[in-house]
Amino acid sequence: MSHFTLSRRHVLMGLAASTALPGMSFAQGATPVSGGTLKISHSTRIATLNVLSLSGPAEYPCIDMLYSGLTRTGLDNQPHPDLATEWSANDDATEFTFILREGVTFHDGTPFTADDVVATYEAILNPDIPSAARSVLKMVEKVEAVDDLTVKFTLSAPFADLPYSTAHANARIVSRAALDGDLTKLDTTANGTGPFKLETYDSARMVRLVKNENYYKPGQPYLDAVEMMLFPDLAAETANFLSGATDVMLTVQQADFQRISDSAGVDAQQVGSGRYVCVVMRQDQEPWNDVRVRKAFGMAVDRELLVDVILEGLGRPAYDSIVAPELEYATDKPVIPYDPEAARALLAEAGYPDGLKVTLVASDRPAIRAQTAIAIQQTAGAAGFDVEIKTMPHDTYLAEEWMKGDFYIGYWGMQPTIDATYNLLLTSDASYQDTEWKNAEFDALVAEGRSTVDPEKRAEIYAKAQALELDESPYIVPFYEDVLTASRETTVDWHIAPISRFFFIEDVWMNKA
């Protein structure tokens, strides 16, 4: 199996899960030194800097440097103060009051006030403006500025997780002036309150950001500048990193991880995350409407093998729950062993004694979808599932198969809460409800969990919801994929939050001495 026994990386994983404050530097036995330029390599284009709508893997670190939100998700996956220093809710979680930080200015020098918060949230909630954070803020009815440093949110329904929603990567505060002006300017310019200011934006080559001297954390950021360098070719990106031409590799491929972490002067990190591949089975038609067929397929997937072969051991087997163990209120899921005999028997019981012939669709991007399909085809064969794989271009998949097909491979990033996870995919009115599972009892539990403030009661409710998910197996989830990144040892305090939207680059410093 994998070569990873307990190592520095696991210690880092543990730290990532247990750190209390995101702003806190890890003890490295040295005081941070100011100065230096951090060169970050990435392999996907920074196509836009529009904080309201962007979704590219290399775009998130840019807005994390340029903008600040009311709250910010830490390495512990909890919301922490950012532009809001504190917040409080009324008893039934329908009204939230945020107290804003004093003396914060935008990069152009104008002061940050409650009015900018109101303008930003009005833009996010405006259906005419594309915005990625709207789905987690749907319940916000009214945002008002009580005074210059106090904002009140009124909700249409109880929602205890609002501070998580305000920490959404796309819910960063933009100035009213920018929102009242031409919105297309947000694509290429940025006037935020974050630790870095935009200097050069060239989406085909490099994005360069320089230190914001007026950032609210005193003495930070330590770096003079950050350069985001695009390497469309993975081999070139790795070669440049190993030769020292770049300081950080934003994302490391599983195939290269061992080689990179074995190199001298390199610090490779493996962060446990809730990113997963799932098998979507449409349950309003044969054969997937029968829970026995779904359970049989679950037993026909060799999860250990998939983690080994597809993730190179850099991940954990999952047992058919889309709730990652990192999330608050997540329960321990029982192991589903690979048991082709039992699967075959269950399949026979469901009325398929001769096995079942199915066509599994996988899009060609990213490659992990097709790889998972191929591996599942192999392990499910022994259990009587004759799986034929159909790969298609991603655009064709999105147009013809996604949300329509009856058996295909999905791929999702980690959500910050159980509520966001379930409301994205599994509740009857979820944003991307593609299984037609639609369970009224489950919907009621998720709604109840959303409006409950008491943590103990919430834990109980969410435990029930997760038990229901396990009973019914609406999705087959074979594994959670770790987030992999690497930095040179001269780069201190480089971290990625498990949700891989937050990077805390204001804490990073160069130890060139």
Partner 1 sequence: MRKILKSPTGIIGVILLTIVLFATVFGPWIAPYDPQAFDARARLQGPSMAHWLGTDQYGRDLLSRILSGAPSTVAFGLGATILGVGVGSVIGVIAGVAGGRTDSIIMRILDGMLAMPELLFTLLIVTFLGGGTTQAMLAVAVTFTPGMARIARSAVLSVRTREYVLAAQARGESRAWIVGREVLPNALGPIIVEATIRVSFAIMIGATLGFLGLGAQPPSTEWGLMVAEARQFMFRNPWCVAVPGLAIAITALGFNLFGDALRDAFDPKRGH
Residues in the site for partner 1, rule: CB under 8 A?
234-235, 253, 255-256, 259, 305, 308-309, 364, 367, 370-371, 374-375, 377-379, 389, 391-393, 396
**Closest CB 250 distance from partner 1, rounded Å:** 17
Q: Which is nearer to partner 1, 62 or 301 (CB)?
A: 301
Q: How far apart are CA 508 and CA 33, in angstroms?
A: 10
Instruction: Tell me if 476 sits within 8 A of 302, measured CB to CB.
Output: no
Q: Which is nearer to partner 1, 256 or 406 (CB)?
A: 256
**Closest CB 367 distance from partner 1, rounded Å:** 8
Q: Which is nearer to partner 1, 321 or 379 (CB)?
A: 379
Q: Which is nearer to partner 1, 44 or 391 (CB)?
A: 391
Widest pairwise Cα distance in the chain: 72
**Closest CB 259 distance from partner 1, rounded Å:** 6
Buried b (16+ CB within 10 A) or exposed e, 319-343: bbbbbbebbbbbbebeebebbbeeb
**Closest CB 235 distance from partner 1, rounded Å:** 8
**Closest CB 360 distance from partner 1, rounded Å:** 11
Q: Which is nearer to partner 1, 94 or 379 (CB)?
A: 379
**Closest CB 393 distance from partner 1, rounded Å:** 5
Number of C-beta neighbours around residue 228 at 10 A: 24
Angle value at C-alpha 69, between 66 and 73, nearest 5 degrees: 100
Q: Which is nearer to partner 1, 21 or 255 (CB)?
A: 255
Residue type, 163: P
**Closest CB 145 distance from partner 1, rounded Å:** 51
Report the SS3 class of residue 354.
coil
Whose tokens are 């775009």? That residue is 59
**Closest CB 7 distance from partner 1, rounded Å:** 20
**Closest CB 306 distance from partner 1, rounded Å:** 10
Alpha helices (H) in 417-496, listed in sequence order: 418-425, 440-451, 455-472
Q: How far apart are CA 90 and CA 452, in angstroms?
A: 12
Q: At what angle do helices 455-472 and 418-425 cross, to 10 degrees?
A: 40
* 498: nearest Cα among 62, 5, 14: 14
Q: Which is nearer to partner 1, 95 or 364 (CB)?
A: 364
**Helix then strand then coil, % of the chain, to nearest 5:** 30, 25, 45
**Closest CB 387 distance from partner 1, rounded Å:** 11
**Closest CB 310 distance from partner 1, rounded Å:** 9
Q: Which two tokens stand for residue 196?
A: 């870095």
Report the SS3 class of residue 398.
helix
Instruction: Tell me if 113 sits within 8 A of 142, measured CB to CB.
Output: no
Q: How far apart are CA 254 and CA 380, in angstroms?
A: 24
Q: Which is nearer to partner 1, 371 or 417 (CB)?
A: 371
Q: Which is nearer to partner 1, 392 or 453 (CB)?
A: 392
Residues 6+ apart with CB under 8 A from 235: none
Rg, Å, the chain Cα set: 23
Q: Which two tokens stand for residue 271?
A: 């962060």
Cα 256 off chain centre by:
22
Q: How far apart are CA 106 and CA 465, in angstroms?
A: 43
Instruction: Tell me if 221 sits within 8 A of 32, measured CB to CB.
Output: no
Using alpha carbons, list the distances in angstroms from residue 457 to 17, 96, 358, 449, 464. 23, 21, 42, 8, 11
**Closest CB 234 distance from partner 1, rounded Å:** 7
Q: Which is nearer to partner 1, 151 or 375 (CB)?
A: 375
Instruction: Tell me if 83 sits within 8 A of 100, measured CB to CB.
Output: yes
Q: Which is nearer to partner 1, 206 or 368 (CB)?
A: 368
Q: Which is nearer to partner 1, 325 or 405 (CB)?
A: 405
